[in-house]
Structure 1
Amino acid sequence: MVDGRSYSGQIRGNSVDIVEGDPFSGIISQIRLSYPVERVKFLPPFAPKKLWCIGRNYVGHVKELEHEIPSEPLVFLKATSSIIGANDFIRIPAWAGTIHYEGELAVVIGKGGKNISEEEAYEHVLGYTIMNDVTARALQNKDGQWTRAKSFDTFGPLGPAILLTKELPKETRVVTRLNGRVVQDGAIEQMIFPIPRLISHISRFAALEEGDIISTGTPQGVGEIKAGDLIEVEIEPIGMLKNICSE
């Protein structure tokens, strides 16, 4: 968004080029206008149809929460109404108890399918973005199921952009900073269930659609956020998702 108007954009160095189209139907790369990054407000890259999330997908995170390593992917849905963009405020409700950050790599599905094999999984990937799966931890433990704890308004920071590629290097790292201090740093090769397995597993019981997101789980190091905190999730090939917490 620039000067109150929304556009499709393509990042080029420290500039954002205004382009036509979108990542799903195709981007016309002819440059209409270009703005410096600092002048652009990044909205969520798109409106997902479904927001699939994976719990306990890094061994370190499983251990820090004192759970058993799952025998198959632990899948849940997070309300798409929770989604906000980069630099938007995460609202911390005073009554909800401890609120945790969870920095994650998110897969954007570009081609739908049912019963997708692991060998064909990457053919269904459009690209990748960043998710902060903000969680009301006390309510998650109290409820026994996770819908309320994960789906508060503003608990789904997403962005700042989509990296259009089928596969990321295995050494790609998810790095989260709280007020400038690194609190999470995990390589995606540490996932218990890698991306092809997640795509295949979900598609066995629910058809994946173009525009679905699969947020792939968080590395160890989750912790509390409070009003006034700055939380940043960085995945180097994609960028940095930055949000400030408020009451």
Structure 2
Amino acid sequence: MKLASLKEGGRDGTLIVVDRAVKRAVRAAGVAPTLQTALEDWPAAAPRLRALAGELEEGKAAGAFDLDTRALAAPLPRAYQWADGSAYVVHVELVRRARGVEMPPSFWTDPLMYQGGSDSFIGPNDDIEAVDEAHGIDFEGEIGVIVDDVPMGITPEAARGHIRLVTILNDVSLRNVIVGELAKGFGFFHGKPATAFAPVAVTPDELGKAWDGARLDRPLISTLNGKEFGHPNAATDLTFDFGQLIAHAATTRHLEAGTVVGSGTVANRDAGVGCSCIAERRVRETIEGGKPVTPFMSFGDRIRIEMLDDDGRSIFGAIDQKVVRYAPPR
């Protein structure tokens, strides 16, 4: 089944069930008011949501309506925790190579992960608000999973069983801000503004053979200003699967239901498939030609991120955003 949240009913939105075509939907208030509520009581909520999804597909759901993705918040408009990994180590390797910095061997065995801001995710068609183009505005196409309660110290194998929903996301990054923050030796903050999510999050069974329990074997397509930027496969060159990432996040803490775990920028070693962020293309340009050529995003630029099934149908719906200038209050 496919789940989403309308921008109504408060900061956590209103839970809806969406059809497989991402064209029709029905409110799920009779089951749970919000997705967070459903995740906290998943064994009871999931069967009822599935029944509602069945009614929707059969055209029998009372109150069903045509879906406008502009009315959607992120599936989880806010979450208790957002832990983003860097599961494609080839991406990290390229970045460090361009800087002339050797990569520690531990990066291949111990996942990188940061804790991002989860108090306000944004919807699939919400603008990317930026103060200054000089900040180096970039998109990052990623895969994300949403879990139920995960106990501390769990194994990667057991962690797979806690994945309740899968989605895609745009982890917006301000590259020129990040450089200064990392130089302080204390991690990201200002360089990572609000993350955008696809219209829907789906249960793993919706993914069929493309999902092996911990990785998603489909290309992630990024289109910048109407021109394809990249289509790397999300399973190819994946160093750490979601079982490993979840277990890593739960090494010293319990993860509460509704925690979102990200894959980091989807990247393949094969340069022919393109990239899921501008920074990686700039790195490849530097390695090949001595300097970057592709600029970061400007006001008015539009990014679209989407994943299609074998029949060319959108699995999660599309993230489709425009970069706009934000004017701070005076």
Asked if structure 2 preserves the Cα contact closer than 8 Å seen for 1:111 and 1:126, the reply is: no
| CA deviation map 1:67-102 (0-9, x unaligned) | 537231111011113511111111122175211110
Alignment partner, residue 184 of structure 1:
230
Alignment partner, residue 32 of structure 1:
62
Q: Cα distance 1:184–1:58, how it changes in 2: closer, same or farther (>3 A)?
A: farther
Asked if structure 2 preserves the Cα contact closer than 8 Å seen for 1:2 and 1:40, the reply is: no
User: Which has the larger Rg?
Assistant: 2
* Counterpart residue identity of residue 204, structure 1: T
Asked if structure 2 preserves the Cα contact closer than 8 Å seen for 1:106 and 1:215, the reply is: yes
Match of 1:109 among 147, 159, 167: 147
* Counterpart residue identity of residue 28, structure 2: V
Alignment of 1:198-237 (within 5 A): 198-220=245-267, 221=275, 222-223=277-278, 224-236=296-308, 237=315
Alignment partner, residue 100 of structure 1:
138
Alignment partner, residue 53 of structure 1:
84
TM-score scaled by structure 1? Answer: 0.88
Any idea what SS the aligned residue of 1:81 has? coil
Q: Cα distance 1:113–1:173, how it changes in 2: closer, same or farther (>3 A)?
A: farther
Gaps of 5+ in 2: 56-60, 98-102, 268-274, 279-295, 309-314, 326-330
* Counterpart residue identity of residue 322, structure 2: I
Alignment partner, residue 66 of structure 1:
96
2:25 is aligned with 1:16: yes
Q: Which runs of 4+ in 1 moved over 3 A?
A: 1-7
Asked if structure 2 preserves the Cα contact closer than 8 Å seen for 1:118 and 1:196, the reply is: yes
TM-score scaled by structure 2? Answer: 0.67
Shift in Å, 1:45: 1.0
Match of 1:83 among 116, 121, 131: 121
Q: Cα distance 1:79–1:7, how it changes in 2: closer, same or farther (>3 A)?
A: closer
Corresponding residue pairs, total: 243
Greater share of residues in strand: 1
Alignment of 1:143-182 (within 5 A): 143-144=181-182, 145-150=187-192, 152=193, 155-165=194-204, 168-169=211-212, 170-182=216-228
CA RMSD of aligned residues (A): 2.4
Gaps of 5+ in 1: none
* Counterpart residue identity of residue 240, structure 1: A
Greater share of residues in helix: 2
Any idea what SS the aligned residue of 1:147 has? coil
| CA deviation map 1:20-63 (0-9, x unaligned) | 324423254163311112376111112211010113x2244224
Shift in Å, 1:115: 1.0
| Percent of aligned pairs with the same amino acid | 20
2-side partners of 1:84 and 1:225: how far apart? 18
1-side partners of 2:15 and 2:297: how far apart? 32
